[in-house]
Structure 1
């Protein structure tokens, strides 16, 4: 049975240019920087100005990122309440900080139904439009909680959100209006990725997830093709078949197409997302504690799906194709065994020496097929290795590439939207430990440099095409709740992929 599609509750969003102190809303959200000695200028003549100054002086309002303080009747006896949100140091307030601040607002005020909320755009000059867009994306994410299976909702979208540009900043009004629609599309795409990741594994088997992707893609006017197990077998996807052999649930392979360029035959940007809907480790069985979040092992596929819906809804003039291999990695009687040899789509053979290194096997087929389509570039996203988390921690993705221009394009897109990644080496010596006496490759190598070895394995299947691999094992999932993040799927790098498409990666 397919989990019911989550109802999309619409939040009415509009932009206004007026004195924020006169804005008639239930809550007014005001950002303050850590190095800001006085409240914003428009607050200076209000009854609460002196109170706010005293709180700043006593450091009860520090302006630290992630801090929020509720103040009441600050604008007058009949006014609504004010939420003062810390923005951190002004010289370090970028897209990532703006997004996180928006999430904080959504989480703090979304715990109950709110009729109207006003969000005052920070006084940041020419950066106001893009930072307001990032904050709005964050608000949309913050008001959408992870509680898909709760009998009562724990988070509510605001009935109306007014994005307020203070008088004197009217030159930015038109630009902010232009970014507002884009921000709403991106926020909802991030929430789609989170929702797919947070679905229980029994509700998103490969076939069910493929059906859900078909529905979402159809709503965004994407072209969808889904291969069943027979077609996958005919197409010689030995890795996908091998990984899924231990499950009663058959695999699926999903192709999404957006041909928005003037020439639909022009080379497309290829996006590949790992889609292991549950990873037990196979016969190389994971400990129970390590399986608890393995419903998230399809984060790459969820993120790519969400990014594709945003690209289509934005009607970007580019060609982009997505390739999503979907499978369960289980321990049934037909499960692949250590020492088995699989033949991949491109004809290379792989000796399986660890069934818990399964993601690279299904990606090998998908990358091979994507490379055959002569794309301009290939970008893959996968929750691939714990080694990457050991190296970079839980909030930074590892970047691996065979092409400096492609790596720089991905890094530039991530920096532009405030998402964090770090280049890791993929030198030729990492290939040495993948040598097998009986096949072209092993699927694992030395215990040292595991993330780089995994990247080197994937490189064998891109046919020399410009390619970048993002190991998102850390940032795709949050173990715990915080002021700017919900526990569960994060929807990371949806913004990066959309920015990459917007920057015209495809010719």
Structure 2
């Protein structure tokens, strides 16, 4: 079911001009002199105004003279002062998308400095993977080899681990829902654990009932596909604090009885992107053998409508005993996360959840930035810094007590909607806050950046692998004891 690129990653200390490859990609700074391959060609392009090295600007040279590569691609990097991980990652991704529209063997990238090895390597990995593997005529061809010329060899294990994790996350999001459902998702998780060295425990519906996960089971009861909870455990620092990662895994969201229209339902195979990010992130952490302890919790359901589906006005009881009035069955993600967060808060006091939770967050922040909500500013700032280091984007939203009334119910402890048009993303966060006990907790609403509806310079349409890189950074920076 899982079909990932077989591309190999390597470094080379040769001069870029002498590297044999189908394509040689060269990054050019907009404000720096250039002394790389085909410098005379680049000078003419600049003189004619055909290339200014603006970010993501691409100019191919199909018959380069004086270099071993068959073709050359200049990619703009923008100004050197703006050279953060995100800029180099995106430049590499855009270049890779350009050169892999046809079958190629080796793609080489002249890394502009060894400190950019990680950004370039994972960016290339992003650009070589497309969602069209089920087409009779593929539109994206992952190369046999990606060669980082001048790259830092010490960074390559991380390049490989993050690239494979990114591929896994995107593949899961892109899989058709008839192939990926709670049981098969749990199987993929178990396979990943065996392959890379973390433990996976899967709870079936009878165990979920015994564990008092009534909110999660309420969402699942309309589907013929039974719910699952997958618990991932990686122990890289025995005796030290544990980082808890929780992922929303609605493998298909019809909206339930609050049925989505076709336009709103067509991409709802992506409603498990949070769970995909957690699984892929834990896989990378385990592959890198990072000295950290992690527990990942994947809440896996289908939200379907049938004669057994939960109804508006139903009241569900979550694991912690709190009752929830269901006023919209399409606000289901928070219902499954309620039980998952309850369980995770029993394992650790440091939690981050990832969820394609609300369209309201996209209205507020657009499609490239996640919303971050927290009950602890210090923990929230630490997670926000990790997201930024990874070259991803999030923005902190308020969570003060003035928003508590958004989820007030007349018949239960809370309701599962905000009750109106305003502060919908925050209402989702305030709901989840009821289930983390005394844990320090961050909620990342990734509804916007987790799925690309169309092609862009850096992405093929489909899953993006949002927050996989950030999870690795969270794990690398996690010490726990500093926040106790």
Normalised TM-score (structure 1): 0.92
- Aligned partner of 1:444 in structure 2 is 417
Displacement of 1:292 in angstroms is 0.7
Quote the offset at 1:79 in angstroms: 5.3
Q: Distance in 1 between matches of 2:272 and 2:20?
A: 44
Q: List gaps (5 residues or longer) in structure 2.
A: none
2:265 counterpart of 1:275: no
1:269 and 1:194 map into 2 onto residues whose CA distance is 23
1:144/1:460 Cα in 2 relative to 1: closer, same or farther (>3 Å)? Answer: same
Matched, 1:59 2:49: yes
1:94 maps to which residue?
84
1:145 maps to which residue? Answer: 130
The answer on 1:429 being equivalent to 2:426 is: no
Q: CA deviation at 1:267?
A: 3.0
Tell me if structure 1 keeps the 8 A contact 2:5–2:142: no
1:469 is matched with which residue: 443, 455, 458? 443
**CA RMSD of superposed structures (Å):** 1.6
1:210 aligns with 2:186: yes
CA distance in 1, matches of 2:480, 2:145: 37
How far, CA to CA, are the matches of 2:215 and 2:20 in structure 1?
59
CA–CA distance in structure 2, aligned partners of residues 199 and 162 of structure 1 = 29
Deviation at 1:205, TM superposition (A): 1.5
Map Cα deviations across residues 111-146 of structure 1 (whole Å, 9 max, x no partner).
2232222211115xxxx32x2211111111211111
1:27 aligns with 2:23: yes
Equivalent residue number for residue 35 of structure 2? 41
On the 8 A contact 1:73/1:79 being kept in 2, the answer is no
Give the SS at the match of 1:277. Answer: strand
Aligned equivalent of 1:191: 167
Choose from 290, 308, 326 the match for 1:316: 290
Query: Which residue in the other structure is 2:195 paired with?
Result: 219
Q: Does 1:9 align with 2:6?
A: yes
Q: Kindly provide the CA deviation profile for residues 164-217 of structure 1, in whole angstroms up to 9, marking residues without a partner as x.
A: 12xxxxxxx6xx111111111101101100000000111112112111221122
Match of 1:179 among 155, 161, 165: 155
What SS is found at the alignment partner of 2:226? coil
Please say if residues 21 and 75 of structure 1, whose CA atoms lie closer than 8 Å, have aligned partners that are also in contact: no
Aligned length: 480
Does the 8 Å CA contact 1:20/1:120 hold for their aligned counterparts? yes
Separation in 2, partners of 1:190, 1:506: 26
* 2-structure distance, mates of 1:467, 1:276: 21
Render the CA deviation track for 1:337-371: whole Å, top value 9, x for unaligned.
Answer: 11110000000000011111100000000001111
- Name 1:170's counterpart in structure 2: none
Question: Counterpart in 1 of 2:312?
Answer: 338
Structure 2 matches for 1:362-401, cutoff 5 A?
A: 362-373=336-347, 375-401=348-374
Of 64, 67, 71, 1:81 maps to: 71
Greater shift, 16-25 or 289-298, is seen at 16-25
- Whether 1:160 aligns to 2:133 is no
The answer to whether the Cα contact below 8 Å between 2:21 and 2:68 also exists between their aligned partners in 1 is no
TM-fit CA distance, 1:15: 1.8
Q: Secondary structure of 1:209's match? A: helix
Contact 1:434-1:442 at 8 Å conserved across structures = yes
User: Structure 1's 140 and 278: CA in aligned 2 closer, same or farther, altered over 3 A?
Assistant: same
What SS does the corresponding residue of 1:41 show, helix, strand or coil? coil
Task: Provide structure 1 residue ranges, at least 5 long, that are not aligned to the other structure.
Answer: 166-172
2:376 maps to 1:403 = yes
Cα distance between partner residues in 1 of 2:6 and 2:41? 37
After TM superposition, the score normalised by the length of structure 2 is: 0.96
1:50 Cα deviation from its structure 2 partner: 2.8
> For 1:118, what is the secondary structure of its paired residue?
strand
CA contact (8 A) 1:318 1:506 kept: no
Whole-Å separation in 1 of the counterparts to 2:67 and 2:21: 14
In the alignment, the residues of structure 1 paired with residue 249 and residue 307 of structure 2 have an alpha-carbon distance, to the nearest angstrom, of 22
1:349 to 323, 330, 338: 323
Distance 1:262 1:24, change over 3 A: same
Of residues 476-485 and 204-213 in structure 1, the stretch that sits farther from structure 2 once superposed is 204-213
CA 1:234–1:30: 2 relative to 1, 3 Å = same
How far apart are 1:152 and its partner, in Å? Answer: 4.2
Task: Classify the secondary structure of the residue corresponding to 1:201.
Answer: coil
Whole-Å Cα distance in 2 between the matches of residues 482 and 158 of structure 1? 20
8 Å Cα contact 1:206-1:326 kept in structure 2: yes
SS in 1 for 2:271: helix
Residues 141 and 188, structure 1, Cα contact 8 Å, conserved in 2: no
Q: After superposition, what is the alpha-carbon deviation per residue over 1:259-296, rounded to whole angstroms, capped at 9, x for unaligned?
A: 11042xx3311100001011111111111100011000
